[in-house]
């Protein structure tokens, strides 16, 4: 008889090439996959830095034909992803994809890869209950992910995130086949990040590491059959190791990079921290702060953050995650006090601790948020307590994430977390 609880954890990761100059070798790397025709996927702001064209030129130097799609929408939507898919279907076929940019570009490339390798439409594959939850029947082409921001971890994960505009909700596609084949992390590409982007994406790294480290342990899930296994399996020894190293790096690199974007040592440490966090949470999973972040981003009315392109209203993903993290970790503290305290001490070993142990990690997070210029709560991005019910409804749609929480929140628990997050200081 099989045991009642899980005894197996899984681990997956892309091949990794890290370091200054790593992006110059992508042409050679693609030859190892037998690629002859490649689509480079990026956004207009990253394209303007010249990096995508430099990378494409290097690829062409190996006799590989390149096309470029530079229409990625920052914080992608179902509509913007369909445009990329249509372009790839119309201009293809391609042997491989190269994403140059933040999580938006990498996730858009994942969608284009998925839907040029498989039939159907985008919403067929979006996680239930928002979409059809369909699994890809066919393998995907090689995807080389080249992050230009330090935060999303998308270069390591098997997840693709998007706004479904008609439903005003963020959701995603999650399947092992979406994971990039190769992550190429060249810290030089991150220097152009504005301070606001550095702070928001840096808090995303932090929450990836902290949420995966405090996630429900894999041994507490019900035993799964092989075909039921999903990318997020709960906290486990391998993911823990990456999360701890990420938090140690962030303790000094996040404030330093937010203060001085030209600080190459801090940028290199941030790039490593993002990579480590992605290698951890891409397997363990994230929980309540990320579940709340989706409706916070999806229901925004008129907030626009400094440092981000365009004029449309948006709450960047990392910012949306950070805004409820202090209250969320206060809620999850009783499930694993030692782990929450370990996260706090890795981030701020010299911090003057408040009296209540449950307040340690929230105090560290709010101090970091203030220091790096993030908003002071949901109220600062346009929400009030009257929005809580609508935000709770959006959070509850993220069952894939809430299932990973070490302490399962009720509707009222989520409402309490959101109300406590309207004003953090």
Q: What is the CATH number of the domain that holds 173?
A: 3.40.50.1970
Burial class of residue 117 (count of CB atoms within 10 Å of its CB; 0-12, 13-18, 19+): middle
d(C-alpha 136, C-alpha 149), whole Å: 28
pLDDT at position 3, please?
62
pLDDT at position 152, please?
77
293 with 174, same domain: the answer is no
The mean pLDDT value for 38-43 works out to 97
Residue 177 pLDDT exceeds 60: yes
Domain boundary among 166, 185, 204: 185
pLDDT at position 156, please?
87
374 with 258, same domain: the answer is yes
The mean pLDDT value for 1-29 works out to 90
pLDDT at position 150, please?
79
Q: Compute the mean pLDDT over every residue in the chain, rounded to the nearest whole number.
A: 94
pLDDT at position 190, please?
85
Residue 57 pLDDT exceeds 60: yes
Give 151's pLDDT tier (boundaries 50, 70, 90): confident
166 with 203, same domain: the answer is no
203 with 180, same domain: the answer is no
Helical (H) or strand (E) element with 101:
strand 96-101
Residue 2 belongs to a domain: no
pLDDT at position 309, please?
78
Give 392's pLDDT tier (boundaries 50, 70, 90): very high
Give 230's pLDDT tier (boundaries 50, 70, 90): confident
231 with 101, same domain: the answer is no
pTM across the whole model? 0.90
Residue 190 belongs to a domain: no
Cα distances from 220 to residues 239, 331, 407, in angstroms, run 16, 19, 11
CB distance 217 to 254 below 8 Å: no
169 with 219, same domain: the answer is no
147 with 209, same domain: the answer is no
Residue 16 belongs to a domain: no
Give 191's pLDDT tier (boundaries 50, 70, 90): confident
Residue 129 pLDDT exceeds 60: yes
pLDDT at position 225, please?
92
Q: Residues 119-138, buried b or exposed e (16+ Cβ, 10 A)?
A: eeebbebbbeebbeebebee
160 with 292, same domain: the answer is no
Q: Which positions ≥6 away from 388 have C-beta within 8 Å?
A: 415, 418, 419
Q: How far apart are the first and last CA of the chain?
A: 53
pLDDT at position 1, please?
37
Q: Which structural domain range is residue 325 located in?
A: 195-421
The total number of structural domains in the chain stands at 2
Residue 57 vs residue 187, higher pLDDT = 57
CB distance 81 to 91 below 8 Å: no
The mean pLDDT value for 91-108 works out to 95
Residue 10 belongs to a domain: no
Burial class of residue 83 (count of CB atoms within 10 Å of its CB; 0-12, 13-18, 19+): middle
Residue 381 belongs to a domain: yes
The token pair at 167 is: 């439903």
Give 339's pLDDT tier (boundaries 50, 70, 90): very high
Residue 216 belongs to a domain: yes
Residue 425 pLDDT exceeds 50: yes
213 with 162, same domain: the answer is no
The mean pLDDT value for 76-82 works out to 95
301 with 362, same domain: the answer is yes
DSSP symbols for 225-265:
-GGG--S---B-HHHHHHHHHHHHHHHHHHHHHHH-TT-HH
The mean pLDDT value for 281-305 works out to 94
Residue 12 belongs to a domain: no
Share of the chain above pLDDT 90, in %: 81
Residue 4 belongs to a domain: no
Residue 190 vs residue 241, higher pLDDT = 241
Q: What is the CATH number of the domain that holds 307?
A: 1.20.1090.10
The mean pLDDT value for 338-350 works out to 96
168 with 233, same domain: the answer is no
Domain boundary among 154, 185, 216: 185
Residue 2 pLDDT exceeds 60: no
The mean pLDDT value for 360-380 works out to 97
152 with 270, same domain: the answer is no
């Amino acid at each position: 008889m099989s045991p009642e609880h899980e005894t197996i954890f899984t681990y997956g990761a892309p091949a990794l090439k890290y370091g200054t100059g790593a992006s110059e070798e992508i042409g050679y790397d693609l030859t190892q996959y037998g690629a002859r025709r490649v689509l480079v996927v990026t956004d207009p702001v990253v394209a303007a830095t010249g990096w995508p064209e430099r990378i494409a030129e290097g690829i062409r130097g190996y006799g590989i034909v390149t096309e470029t799609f530079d229409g990625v929408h920052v914080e992608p939507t179902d509509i913007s992803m369909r445009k990329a898919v249509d372009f790839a279907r119309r201009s293809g076929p391609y042997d491989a994809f190269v994403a140059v940019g933040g999580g938006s570009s990498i996730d858009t490339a994942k969608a284009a890869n998925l839907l040029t390798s498989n039939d159907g439409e985008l919403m067929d594959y979006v996680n239930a209950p928002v979409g059809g939850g369909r699994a890809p029947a066919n393998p995907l082409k090689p995807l080389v992910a080249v992050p230009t921001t330090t935060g999303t971890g998308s270069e390591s994960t098997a997840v693709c995130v998007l706004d479904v505009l008609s439903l005003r909700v963020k959701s995603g596609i999650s399947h092992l086949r979406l994971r990039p084949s190769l992550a190429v992390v060249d810290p030089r590409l991150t220097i152009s990040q504005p301070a606001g982007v550095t702070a928001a994406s840096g808090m995303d790294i932090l929450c990836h590491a902290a949420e995966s480290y405090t996630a429900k342990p894999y041994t507490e899930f019900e035993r799964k059959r092989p075909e039921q296994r999903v990318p997020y399996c709960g906290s486990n020894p391998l993911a823990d190791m990456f999360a701890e190293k990420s938090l140690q790096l962030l303790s000094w690199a996040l404030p330093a990079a937010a203060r001085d974007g030209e600080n190459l040592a801090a940028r290199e440490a941030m790039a490593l921290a993002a990579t480590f966090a992605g290698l951890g949470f891409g397997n363990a999973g994230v929980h309540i702060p990320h579940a709340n972040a989706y409706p916070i981003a999806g229901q925004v009315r008129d907030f626009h953050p400094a440092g981000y392109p365009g004029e449309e209203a948006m709450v960047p993903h990392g910012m949306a995650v950070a805004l409820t993290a202090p209250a969320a970790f206060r809620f999850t503290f009783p499930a694993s006090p030692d782990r929450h305290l370990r996260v706090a001490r890795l981030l701020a070993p010299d911090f003057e601790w408040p009296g209540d142990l449950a307040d340690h990690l929230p105090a560290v997070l709010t101090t970091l948020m203030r220091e790096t210029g993030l908003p002071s709560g949901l109220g600062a991005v346009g929400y009030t307590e009257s929005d809580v019910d609508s935000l709770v409804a959006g959070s509850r749609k993220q069952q894939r994430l809430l299932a990973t929480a070490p302490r399962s929140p009720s509707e009222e628990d989520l409402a309490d977390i959101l109300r406590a997050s309207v004003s953090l200081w």
